[in-house]
Amino acid sequence: MTEITQITLRRPDDWHVHFRDDDMLSSVVPATVAEFARAIVMPNLVPPVTTVAGAEAYRDRINAAVPKGLEFKPLMTAYLTDQTSADELRQGFAAGVFAAVKLYPQGATTNSTSGVSDIANVMSVLETMQEIGMPLLIHGEVTDPDIDIFDREAVFIERVLTPLIAKLPGLKVVFEHVTTKEAVDFVLGGDVKTLAATITAHHLVINRSDLFKGGIRPHLYCLPIAKRELHRQALRAAATSGDARFFLGTDTAPHGAHLKESACGCAGVYSAPVAMPVYTQAFEDEGALDRLEAFASLNGPTFYGLPVNDAKITMTRQDWTVPETIMTGEGVALKPFMAGEILAWQLKAL
């Protein structure tokens, strides 16, 4: 069999990105722009992005960080709180400022203290979103302290997501960064027009044992946390299946290395610099390079009702070593996913 040495596909989009703000933002935006034409931008700043004006201002800061000569469109989201105004969302969606709304269960992950304390508190807002066709992006974990961290996604499906979809069957839902076989099966049982899921690059590569190989690996710690190997295999099967309900969302989440390597390290994997090479390798390993374009470039726009990108990218087979450290403009060290490792695929310069 002839070895494939390059693959060309429509320029992909990243349907789940954390850019942070200020110096971090200006330092990490170029890595995403180099690979992706659009990105769904998470709103969990401090304070969170909850208003149309706040989203417009954040969008302007992102656009200012895009390298000259490259085209990129940030798709802004609203942070859902117990006090969110349905009118604010309606206005922002109609104006093309908000592409979607992000639901963080209160306390589930980084900067989620302003999140939803009980789904019942936002039901009237979700009814409005169903009415206007505005997507809801869900971090799908319960936060009860009595629930094991490795079970939080499965319990969320049972307690929250299943009743929600039964109550609002027309609500468009993206189950973000799924990590379990239960989540994959749940999405496969849903309507392709109203239920989809994003899958990260790192969850296709690591399982929970990798967090402890030779010691604690803080740069692999993320939320939702990586699960058992059987779940990783379910994610790989879903991503490479060609099923339109699954699409690319890196959940790239940069933190300074000093914050990851502290006594109480932050959750998040900075995967933007290696995202497409890692996805490409995963698809090659599964014998599914012919389905990479659907996952990376077609399924997401279809679900969101957006046109696919006309531009193309080419991935080439050429070994390269991921940098151990990437420095921000103010000298903060970032450790990218797969730091120091040799990857077989790289993006040909646009």
Which of 23, 102, 110, 98 has the alpha carbon at shortest distance from 59?
Answer: 98
Nearest to 198 by CA among 96, 129, 286, 275: 275
CB 140 within 8 A of CB 112: no
CA atoms in the 13 A half-sphere facing the CB of 270:
30
- Give the tokens for residue 102: 């992000």
Q: Which of 13, 14, 243, 251 is catalytic?
A: 251
Q: Which of 205, 247, 240 is nearest to 226 (CA)?
A: 205
The count of residues in the chain is 350
Do residues 173 and 194 lie in contact, with contact meaning Cβ atoms separated by under 8 Å? yes
Q: What is the DSSP string of 190-244?
A: S-TTTEEEEE-HHHHH--GGGGGTTS--GGG--SSPP--HHHHHHHHHHHTT--T
Cβ 11 vs Cβ 312: under 8 Å: yes
DSSP state of 252: B
Q: Is 251 a catalytic residue?
A: yes
Question: Under a CB-based contact definition with an 8 Å cutoff, are residues 280 and 292 in contact?
Answer: yes
For 207, other C-beta atoms within 10 Å of its C-beta total 18
Between CA 119 and CA 256 the distance in angstroms is 33
Question: Residue 191 corresponds to which tokens in the numbers above?
Answer: 């309507």
Residues marked as catalytic: 251
